[in-house]
Amino acid sequence: MNHSALGLFCLAITLAGYFASKALYRRQRRVWLAPIIVAPVAILITVVSLKIDISDYFSYTHYLAAMLAPATIAFALPIYRERKLIKQYPLTLSLGVICGLLLGLASSWLLTKLTNLPPELSHSLMVRSVSTPFAIEATSSFGGIPELTAMLVLLTGVIGMLICEPLFKVAHIQSSIAKGVALGASAHGAGAAKANEIGRQEGVIASLTMIFTGIAMVLTAPVFAMLVN
């Protein structure tokens, strides 16, 4: 098979894997069958088992990755739509964003110091708690690698989605705004999806927190990178 055909084949695998995993989740609503877990794992296994070279894989699928920029711009709509909610609780939301941002950075930094991970990983870890399009923009400030960052961000989302409910129960967090903000700030898109399952209000708050934390991360990353190094 020549390279161009192989590239198209990879694009087809990616699209098929993604839409199949979404269809699966619509039928079987189990946490571990969420598309965020199934789709990347299935596609990764396929690519590895077929021994496809990564440059061939990227030849067409990089158009998909390029859609992250317009997707970032699209976040303007939820901000505009929920302007009323933002005006109602400005303090709570800003505290959530600041807390999430600082705790995310501090926890990553502290743990990489304790475990002495190699620099590629520890630098890519810094931005892990914000949504992928923002994280990929911000990671270069810390010297992180976009691909590793994307994977660590995804893992963070999955972890947050899995641990949130037992944690909320243990810690007696009841108000929906606290649940929403915490999920959005710590587990970005996956957290927002989870929050949406808990309730509509939680979902909206989680998405807003996720967007604002992402923007704040992109804007402040150069400053924090200077502090860390």
Residues 5-44, interacting with another protein (CB under 8 A): 14-15, 17-18, 35-36, 39-40, 43-44
Q: Tell me how far, at minimum, the Cβ of 5 lies from another protein, in Å.
A: 18
CB-nearer residue toward another protein: 5 or 199: 199
Q: Tell me how far, at minimum, the Cβ of 99 lies from another protein, in Å.
A: 5
CB-nearer residue toward another protein: 187 or 224: 187
CA pair distance 63, 61, nearest whole angstrom: 5
Count of CB atoms within 10 A of residue 102's CB? Answer: 13
**Helix boundaries (H) for the chain:** 3-27, 35-49, 54-66, 68-74, 76-81, 83-88, 90-115, 119-125, 132-142, 146-171, 176-198, 200-228
Q: Tell me how far, at minimum, the Cβ of 30 lies from another protein, in Å.
A: 17
Residue pair 221/141 in contact (Cβ under 8 Å)? The answer is: yes
Looking only at residues 145 through 174 of this chain, which bind another protein when binding is defined by CB under 8 A? 145-148, 150-156, 159-160, 163-164, 167-168, 171, 173-174
CB-nearer residue toward another protein: 28 or 118: 118
For residue 79 the two structure tokens come to 């901000």
139 scored as a contact of another protein (CB under 8 A): no
